[in-house]
Structure formats: C-alpha cells, structure tokens
Structure 1
Amino acid sequence: MTDPHPRGREAAQRLRHLVPAGAHAYSKAADQWPATAPPLISHGQGAWTWDMDGHQYVDWFAGLTCCPLGHAHPAVTQAVTQALQRGTAFQLPTLAELEAAETFLGFVATGDDMVKFGKNGSDAVDAALKLARYATGRTHIAKCAEHPFFSTGDWFIGTTAARGGTHPEPATRTLDFPYNNTPALEQLFTDHGQHLAAVILEPLRFTPPDPVFFARLRTLCTTNGTVLVFDETVTGLKYHLGGARTLTGIDPDLTCWGKSIGGGLPVSALTGKRALMELGDHARPRPGNPPLLLLSTTHGSDAAGLAAMRATVHQLATTDAIPRAHATGAQLRTTIGGILADAHLDTHIRLTGYDCFLNIETHGTGHISGPQLKTLFLAELIRAGALVRGIFYPTAAHTAKHLHMTESAVRHAADTCRKALDGTFLPPAAPNRPL
C-alpha cells in the first residue's frame, strides 16, 4: 500500500534525529499514536489541522486541550501580536503582569487572592507542594491514584515507570488514595495525617465528584493542618470559566492551572489565599525560617503568553464559547452513541465523562482486547479524517461541518470494529477525505 505520508514521515525522521523521541511531550511521540496518525502537523486553523502531506483533519484534542477557542483564534493572535510589538521580557515587573493577575483572579480563580504565573503545569504543581511543605513543616504528599499525571518532579514521576534519573527518596514520601472513596481517605489520614503536607488531586476526570467525599476531604485537611491542592491543569476552563473545582462543593487551599488558560501559548498559574501565597514572598520570610523561593521563572512574566491568557479569558467570559462547546459535546455524544448502538458496539465502545471532555472506553472479547479495540477504533477514525487520541475535547471552534465529518469517520471506524469483533476484519482502503 502506498504511504499516504511520505513528506511527513521523512520530516519526522529528521526531527527524531535532532530531538529525543522526535517530540517535546511524551504524549505526542509516534509510539503513543496509531500508525495511521500523521507523522507531523503542518498547521491549524480553528478546529482543523493539516499534515505535511496536505491531509485535513477535524482536530478533537486541540493541542493537548490547550486551545479552547481553536487554533490561531483571531483575538488571541491579535493580542499576542500587539504584545510582541511592545516587548515581552523586562528586568522589572510590568503592567502586563498586573493586568494578567487582575484578569485571572477576577474571572477564573475567583475567591483566590494571589497568583503566580509559570510556563507549564509542573511549574505550578511543584511550587504548590513546595509551599505546602514550607507552610506545614511536613514532607509527605498524598496524590489521587486514578489521576494519571501531576508533574515531572521526582515526588511524582519517581512513582511511575518513567522514574529513570530521579532521586528515589522523594517518591517514598508520596502516598496514594482512591478517588471518591471516603473510607480509604479517612484511613489515609488516620495512618499518615500528622505527616501530610498536602493532598493533591484533580477535581474530577471522567467520574462526577461525590459531594460526601469532597466534604470529608475538606474537613480532614482542615482538621489535620494539611494543604488541599486542586490540579486544574487539564480541567481548567473546560467545565466552567472558574474550572471544575466549582463542581466539588468545596474550596481548595491552592489551585494549579495550565494548558487551556494560555489559549495555545505556554502559561500556567498557581492561585490561593493570601495567608498561604504570601509565604512565597522571599522578601518577607517567616520568622525563624529560611526564605522561600516559591516560583521564580524568567518567563513567568512573558508578556506574549499573558496577553494570550487575557484574550482567551475575555472571549470565554463575554461570549457563549463554553456553553457552545458543551452543546457540541452533547450532540457528539448522542451521534456517536447512536452509531455504536446501530453497529451493536455499545457494550464494547462507549463515551464517558462530561460533554466538554469525553473519554472513549473500550471492552474487548476473547480474541480482541479492550486496548486493541481502542487502538483499532482510533486508527480508523484518524484514517477517515478525525484526529482523536482517546478523548473528544469539543471547543468553541467546532461547527456542524466538523460534526458531520466526524459522524462519517465514526461510521467507518464502527464498521471496521464490528468486523474485528465478528472475526471478519479486513484492512480497509483509506476513505476519501478533503485535501
């Protein structure tokens, strides 16, 4: 069969020769995608992306969910262009930092008093835990076991299969607890409460938060003097402008933000109450304690990124972008569910989660496993022009045209998966897609 990606494959080989794994994020590397995925992306606009060989795709992951308005949104592009024309890096604080802080605390992290900006989620998460250790004088961290990624810091990555090069000691002070499991949470505090500097978790992923669990979590953290940290690197700006923490019924002590808050540019943030956040003021250390370097980054004040954040937040706050994305997700859920039911696949492939963040869950049979079925489903979606990596992330840029093209791709993928489950699978020819 003729390779549909000759230019992309050649360019990807050159990139891998120069960049380890050929990607700057592990989730973008070739081994994380089906073989039908384009080797390299050329460019994007709205909810479309194009590869090096001219194939056009409906993009359902928007730059690892970093682009809630779609690629190259005009308001974000204009704001960044204006920032570039005024200069982006200075040796003293800038007006851009004040305006960014006022915007973020006024519209997104409402209820929090202070913010520190960084460039990626690990910046914010590691700073939050450093602050928690400093505030409590303790060293142990408890993380939610079901939530897949928090940081590249040794305290977390040292507990995973990717622990090569880490110092082993921090990982020994990292504990796990299950999401929405109140008895297990209570046991965690019974056994380790006096050592816990912080508890960190995402407010939710695909399972709705149990209000009893979260109320007990808040009480246990307060009673034991443990800092409660919500990681909204993924969830921020998707469920509500104020993040998914609004769905839990409680307020955390610190919140970490990233990905979509920059509208496609690298921006992260740590927010919290003044009593905690001011401990990160190195000019005002606690009596008897050494100064704390909370989050000191050369480019946390980058004016282009902060301008992109302000433009993104303004668009989400003043338009129906978030409700529209949710409505798109609801329509997508209904359409895909109907196709899967018609193909008698609904017991093997289904969508879980909220309309703004839909997970593809698969269950196999004796001759094809769940992961194999998922890989096949994704491979055929991509072959048919829908660029999906296990999650559908609807954005404000998705329209009826994108839904129609995705419906066709799902029908194609469902037909192939049905044949695979029946044992009559034949590799299909690549269907037509716009170029």
Structure 2
Amino acid sequence: MDDPHPNGRAAAARLRRLVPAGAHAYSKAADQWPPSAPPLLDRGEGALVWDVDGHCYVDWFPGLTCCPLGHAHPAVTDAVHRALTRGTAFQLPTRTELDAAETFLSTVAAPDDMVKFTKNASDAVDGALKLARYATGRALVAKCEQHPFFSTGDWFIGTTAASGGTHPEPAARTLNFSYNDTGGIERLFAAHGDDLAAVILEPARFTPPDPAHFTRLRHLCTTHGTALVFDETVSGLKYRLGGARTLTGVHPDLTCWGKGIGGGLPLAALTGRRELMELGDHTRPLPGRPPLFLLSTTHGSDGAALAAMVATVNEIAATDAITRAHATGAALRRAIHEVFTDNGVAGHLQLTGYDCFLNIDATGNSNVGAPQLKTLFLDLMIRSGALVRGILYPTAAHTAQHLESTTRAAQHAAADCARALDGQPGQLLTAAHRPL
C-alpha cells in the first residue's frame, strides 16, 4: 500500500543520521510509538498538530504534557515575543526573575518560601537531593519504585536498565519503597532512618494518595531529620494549580517542578522552605563548611521561558483552565468507556487514573497479549487521527469537537480490538492515516 508519510520518513531518516535515535528524548523515538505514528511533526495549534506530510491529529499528550494550554497559546506566545524584544540573557539578575519568582511562589508553590529555576527537571531533582545531603550530612536516598522516572543523574538512572556509563556508587546508595505502603515505609526508616538524607516520590500519578500514609511518612521524615521531596515534574499544573501535593494532606520540605510550568518552553524549578533553600546561597556559607552551589545555571534566568511561565500560570488561574481540563477528561472517560462497553472490550481495555491524566490499561487473553492489544488500540487511534500514546492528557484546549472525533476513532479501534480478542482477523485500515 502507499506510504502516507513519504516526506516524514525521508526527513526522519536524515534526522537519525544527525541525532542519536532521531530524537532528543527517548520517549519521542520511533521505537516508542506504533507503526502508524507520524515520523515528524511540523506544527501545532491548540489541541491539534500537523505532520510534515500535512496530516492533522488531535494531540492527547501535547509536548509530553509540557503544554497545559495547548500549542501556541496566544497569551504565551505574546509574552515570549515581548520578552524577546527586551533581550533574554544578561550578566546580572533581572526584573523578570523577580516577577517570575513572586508569581510562581504565590500562585503555584505556596507556602514555599524560595525558588530556583533551571532548564530541566533532572537538574531540579538532583539539586534537591544534593541539598538534602548537604543539610543532613547523609548519603542515602529512597525513591518510590512505582514512579518511572526521576532524573538522568547516576543516583537514579544507574538503578535502571539504562545504567550504561553511570558510576555504581550513587546507585548503590539509592533505596526503594512502595507507594502508599505504610508498613514498608516504617520498615525503611527502622532500618535506615538515621542515614536517610531524603525520600523522594511523586505525590500522585494514577493511584490516589492515602492521606493516612502520607501523614505517617511526613512524621517519620520530621522525626528522623530526613528531607521529604515531592517530584511534581509530571503532576504539576494538572491535578490542581498548587500541584498534586495538595491531595496528600501534608507539605514536603522540597518540591521539584517541570514540564508544564513553562507553557511549552524549557523550564523547571525547585521550591522549598527558607531554612533549607538558603543553604544553597553560596554568598552565605555556613561556618566551617564550604559554600554550596545548589543550582547554578546560565539559562535558569532565561527571560523568554520565565515570561512564558508567568503568562501560563496567570492564564490558568484567570480562566480556571485546570477545572475545565478535568471536565474534558471526565467527558472523554465516559465516552470511551461507553465505546469499550458497546464493543465488548471493557474487560480488556479501560481508562484508569484521574480525569486530568488517564492511563490506558490493557488485559489480554489467549488470542492476544496485553502489550499487543494496547499497541493495536493505539495504532488504530493514530490511524484515525487521534495522536494517543499510553496516557491521555486533556487540556483546556480540547473542545467538544475534539472529543467527538476522538470517540469516533476509539469506536474504530475498539471494534478491531474486539475481533483480535475473538481470534478473528482484524480489518486494519488500508492507509496509515484516515482523518475523521
């Protein structure tokens, strides 16, 4: 059959000769997507993206969740344009940094006292753990083993299958615990509490936090002098304006933010209480101890990204964008659940998690395994013009029309998944893209 992506495939091949794996993030590489995925995207607007061959898709994971207002939102692009005309890089702190710090701390990160901006969340997370080790004089850190990614730093990535090139010592000082497992966290502290510099986890992902567990975790961290670190790289600006940490009933000592806070521009942040954050002030070293450079990044003060953050946060707050995104997610969940039920696949395909962050779960049978079933569903969704990966991220940019076209795509996909589960040959589309 004819290839509907000739320009995209040729361009992607050229890119792969110049960039390892043809992508700057592993999750964007071709091996992470079904065969029908467009090889290269060209542009985006709101909830839509276009590939280099001109096909249009409803984007359900915009910017790897970096675009809470959708692509190229006017408030964000206007703010960036104004920043560019004033200059974006200077050799001294700027008024933009003051505006950004005041906005972020008062609107998103309250009641944290201080913030340090950087360009990616790995730097913010690594900075948080470096600060915790400095404050406590301890070496061990503990991470939630259910949360898939914290950092490219050796302390984390060295514990994964992608440990190539890492030094083994940091990974050897990293311990694991399970989410919402109070008994497990008590055993962790009983064995290592006096040696733990930090405990790090996402406050929420797909499973709701147990307030009783988090209360106990907070108590143990406080009692043992261990820094409690929440990683809101993914969850920030999705669950609530103040982050998913507001769902736990406790407040961490340090919080790492990323992805969506820049409105599509590269920006991350570390926030926390003053007595910890001020340890990172190299102009005020502690007596008898060397100064600490918590985070020192030339581009953490980039004026365009900071202006984009201020515009994004203010727009979300002014338009109640998070509530609207949750409503869109709830409508999407209902519609797709109805499609699954009507096609008899509700026992094998379902949406789990919060309305703002929906996970696609698959359960196979003797005819088709769970991974193959999920891949088939995603492949058929993309062929019908809904750019979907394993997670659906509704935003304020998604409209009723986008919901309608995505529901139609799900109908086509679920029908073919039902045939696969029954052991019948599927009726795959004859082209890799069929707009609805």
Give the TM-score range, shorter chain: over 0.9
Question: What residue in structure 2 maps to residue 351 of structure 1?
Answer: 351
Q: Distance in 1 between matches of 2:348 and 2:225?
A: 45
Question: What residue in structure 2 maps to residue 306 of structure 1?
Answer: 306
Helix, strand or coil: the match of 2:209? coil
Question: What residue in structure 2 maps to residue 2 of structure 1?
Answer: 2
Equivalent positions of 1:60-71 (< 5 A) are 60-71=60-71
Question: What residue in structure 1 maps to residue 260 of structure 2?
Answer: 260
TM-aligned CA deviation for residue 289 of structure 1: 1.2
TM-aligned CA deviation for residue 427 of structure 1: 4.5
The answer to which of 340-349 and 78-87 deviates more is 340-349
Question: What residue in structure 1 maps to residue 102 of structure 2?
Answer: 102
Equivalent positions of 1:225-374 (< 5 A) are 225-374=225-374
The answer to which of 284-293 and 249-258 deviates more is 284-293
Query: TM-score when scaled to structure 2?
Result: 0.99
Residue type matched to 1:203 in 2?
A: P
Q: Distance in 1 between matches of 2:362 and 2:333?
A: 15
Q: Distance in 1 between matches of 2:292 and 2:393?
A: 38
Equivalent positions of 1:20-59 (< 5 A) are 20-59=20-59
Question: What residue in structure 2 maps to residue 406 of structure 1?
Answer: 406
TM-aligned CA deviation for residue 212 of structure 1: 1.0
Question: What residue in structure 2 maps to residue 73 of structure 1?
Answer: 73
Residue type matched to 1:222 in 2?
A: T
Q: Deviations over 1:15-71 (max 9, x none)?
A: 000000000000000000000000000100000000011110000001100000000
Helix, strand or coil: the match of 2:294? coil
Question: What residue in structure 2 maps to residue 148 of structure 1?
Answer: 148
Q: Distance in 1 between matches of 2:204 and 2:322?
A: 18
Q: Distance in 1 between matches of 2:274 and 2:320?
A: 32
Q: Distance in 1 between matches of 2:32 and 2:195?
A: 37
Query: TM-score when scaled to structure 1?
Result: 0.99
Q: Distance in 2 between matches of 1:77 and 1:425?
A: 48
Q: Distance in 2 between matches of 1:297 and 1:24?
A: 20
Helix, strand or coil: the match of 1:299? helix
Structure 2: where are the runs of 5+ without partners?
none
Q: Distance in 2 between matches of 1:432 and 1:221?
A: 53
The answer to which of 284-293 and 150-159 deviates more is 284-293
Q: Is the 8 A contact 2:136 2:197 kept in 1?
A: yes
Helix, strand or coil: the match of 2:301? coil
Helix, strand or coil: the match of 2:300? coil
Helix, strand or coil: the match of 2:155? helix
Question: What residue in structure 2 maps to residue 213 of structure 1?
Answer: 213
TM-aligned CA deviation for residue 382 of structure 1: 0.4
Question: What residue in structure 1 maps to residue 397 of structure 2?
Answer: 397
Residue 139 (1) aligns with residue 120 (2): no
Helix, strand or coil: the match of 2:115? strand
TM-aligned CA deviation for residue 12 of structure 1: 0.2
Q: Distance in 1 between matches of 2:234 and 2:186?
A: 27
Q: Distance in 2 between matches of 1:320 and 1:227?
A: 32
TM-aligned CA deviation for residue 123 of structure 1: 1.0
Question: What residue in structure 2 maps to residue 190 of structure 1?
Answer: 190
Question: What residue in structure 2 maps to residue 432 of structure 1?
Answer: 434
Residue type matched to 1:369 in 2?
A: G
TM-aligned CA deviation for residue 322 of structure 1: 1.0
Q: Is the 8 A contact 2:58 2:402 kept in 1?
A: yes
Residue type matched to 1:95 in 2?
A: R
Q: Distance in 2 between matches of 1:50 and 1:404?
A: 19
Structure 1: where are the runs of 5+ without partners?
none
Q: Distance in 1 between matches of 2:399 and 2:125?
A: 34
Helix, strand or coil: the match of 1:235? coil
Q: Distance in 2 between matches of 1:427 and 1:334?
A: 26
Q: Deviations over 1:214-260 (max 9, x none)?
A: 00000000000000000000000001110000000000000000000
Q: Distance in 2 between matches of 1:109 and 1:93?
A: 21
Residue type matched to 1:368 in 2?
A: V
Residue type matched to 2:150 in 1?
A: F
Helix, strand or coil: the match of 2:125? helix
Q: Distance in 1 between matches of 2:385 and 2:13?
A: 23
Q: Deviations over 1:353-383 (max 9, x none)?
A: 0000000011111231111111111000001
The answer to which of 367-376 and 265-274 deviates more is 367-376
Q: Distance in 2 between matches of 1:222 and 1:415?
A: 53
Helix, strand or coil: the match of 2:299? coil
TM-aligned CA deviation for residue 320 of structure 1: 2.1
Residue 19 (1) aligns with residue 19 (2): yes
Question: What residue in structure 2 maps to residue 87 of structure 1?
Answer: 87
Q: Distance in 1 between matches of 2:426 and 2:363?
A: 21
TM-aligned CA deviation for residue 194 of structure 1: 1.1
Question: What residue in structure 1 maps to residue 128 of structure 2?
Answer: 128
Q: Which runs of 4+ in 1 moved over 4 A?
A: none
Question: What residue in structure 2 maps to residue 224 of structure 1?
Answer: 224
TM-aligned CA deviation for residue 285 of structure 1: 1.4
Helix, strand or coil: the match of 2:117? strand
